[in-house]
Amino acid sequence: MKRVSPTKPKFQEDWHSKFKWLQKDSETDLLWCIYCRSDRHCKSSFGKTGAKNFKTSALEEHARSVAHQDAILLQERDKNGLEKCASKKKASVDVAIEKLFKCAYFIAKEDLAFRKLESLLRLLRECGVEGLPRMYNDNKACASFILHISKALEAEIYDRLRKSPWFGLMVDEATDVSVTKNLILYATFVEGRQVRTSYLGLLEVEDGTSNTITESILALLKKWNLDVRKMMGFGSDGAFVMVGMFTRVAEIM
């Protein structure tokens, strides 16, 4: 009578869902535990050499083993430690960047040259202020910080304008060193029971004609979703192009 060899156990695909820690090396046909394999002190075959036992009972036994439980705890502890370290590092970077933004805001508020940021930071270090980065200390960085601050403040101001029942505009013309025409804009609005006046910024225009100025102002109001029907006042420096008769800005608006 011919003897029948016992069937060799095979890898079962449903083991992946039952044993989340299990890995199979397709080249060596060995079974590994992702937790025990990362623990250099683990003596289990699932972590040290790779297991050859393709039996469900062997997998269940390993899952209950002390070595396996210790390897899980060790990896969770290392993961939490890395997360805390990364979180702490991010917090310190955020604080450093915040200090740079505050210095740049001071430069703009006091109407100082952007190149003064470097000397201001040097003075603060000499006075014992800690956490000031050595990077982003030049005039280009200062200009970039101020640009981001101005965008944030601009959005806040226009949001306050939208909430006001009415607003007025004050406009003045200016020409910079490159002979570019600009409009200096201020707004008057109601906030609570107070009348506020706020600087809106510079608006570049192609030329100084009344039609161009009017179109530029209306385009700005549309951009920030401001209802022109709520504009109850318009003020300027009295130039003819602004308040003259018929085709002037005040008349058109």
Judge whether residue 6 has pLDDT over 80.
no
Q: Torsion over CA of 46, 48, 52 and 57, rounded to 10 degrees?
A: -30
Q: What pLDDT score does 59 carry?
A: 85
Q: Encode pLDDT of 217-239 as tens digits.
A: 888 888 888 888 898 888 876 55
Residue 240: which pLDDT band, with cuts at 50, 70 and 90?
very low
Per-residue burial over 147-158, b = 16 or more CB atoms within 10 Å of its CB, e = otherwise: eebeeeeeeebb
Q: Residues 6 or more apart from 61 whose CB is under 8 A from it?
A: none
Judge whether residue 2 has pLDDT over 80.
no
Number of neighbours of residue 215 by Cβ within 10 angstroms: 14
**120, 139 Cβ separation under 8 angstroms:** no
Judge whether residue 190 has pLDDT over 90.
yes
Local structure of residue 171 (DSSP, 8 states): E
Percentage of the chain exceeding pLDDT 70: 79
Local structure of residue 14 (DSSP, 8 states): T
Q: What pLDDT score does 195 carry?
A: 92
Percentage of the chain exceeding pLDDT 90: 8
Q: Encode pLDDT of 76-120 as tens digits.
A: 776 665 566 556 656 676 788 888 889 988 888 787 888 899 999
Q: What pLDDT score does 232 carry?
A: 87
Q: What pLDDT score does 120 carry?
A: 92
Is pLDDT larger for residue 248 or for residue 35? 35
Judge whether residue 70 has pLDDT over 90.
no
User: Across the strands, what pairs with 23?
Assistant: 32
Q: Encode pLDDT of 41-64 as tens digits.
A: 777 888 888 888 888 888 888 888
**Positions of E strands within the chain:** 22-25, 30-33, 167-175, 181-191, 194-205, 231-235
- Overall fold of domain 164-252: Nucleotidyltransferase; domain 5 (3.30.420)
Q: What pLDDT score does 215 carry?
A: 85
User: Across the strands, what pairs with 204?
Assistant: 182
Number of neighbours of residue 47 by Cβ within 10 angstroms: 23
